Structure 1
Amino acid sequence: TAAAGPIAFVSLSAPQLARRLTRAPGPNLAASALMGAVLLLAADWVATNAFGDRELPVGVVTGVLGGCYLLWLLVTERKAGRI
């Protein structure tokens, strides 16, 4: 976990994104697993290809993207009065 700790953000954000995309009322395991795989593949691609010769650890990319998404989700849920 020391090398790949921020990848845990995928497990927090993937079910929320999958539920919003499928508009399902509850959690959907298959959609969440697929969304997690897509998020991790996209983060890995960004980490290896987005900055030219410099390669970032995938944990940095997932931490930044996951953290930003969870903050956005928290703010929008609070504005909607659900929190």
Structure 2
Amino acid sequence: QLARRLSRGTGTGLLPAAAMGALLLSASDLVAISLPTAGPLPVGVVTGGLGGVYLAWLLGRGRRR
């Protein structure tokens, strides 16, 4: 979804999807490192949180249409 929205093409190409995945994982890693927690926070938890927020935004936006 993210790669298709950014590329504005008719379909999702491999390069935009790979770049978006790398960007999302890198951003999640930076957030996981910078959060002040008692122990190390797994990157998957942050990635799931970011994906959940985006999914909620998509669902909320779809209801308005």
Q: Return the TM-score normalized by structure 1.
A: 0.67
Partner of residue 43 from structure 1, selected from 23, 28, 40 = 28
Deviations 1:27-70 (A, max 9, x none): 22210111001100110111012327743111110111101101
Aligned to 1:34: 19
Partner of residue 74 from structure 1, selected from 28, 41, 59 = 59
Equivalences for residues 56-67 of structure 1 within 5 A: 56-67=41-52
The runs of at least 4 aligned residues of structure 1 exceeding 4 Å deviation read none
Match status 1:19 vs 2:4: yes
Aligned residues with identical type, % of pairs: 55
Unaligned runs of 5+ in 1: 1-15
Root-mean-square deviation (Å): 1.7
| Counterpart secondary structure, 1:56 | coil
Quick one: distance in 1 between partners of 2:10 and 2:35? 36
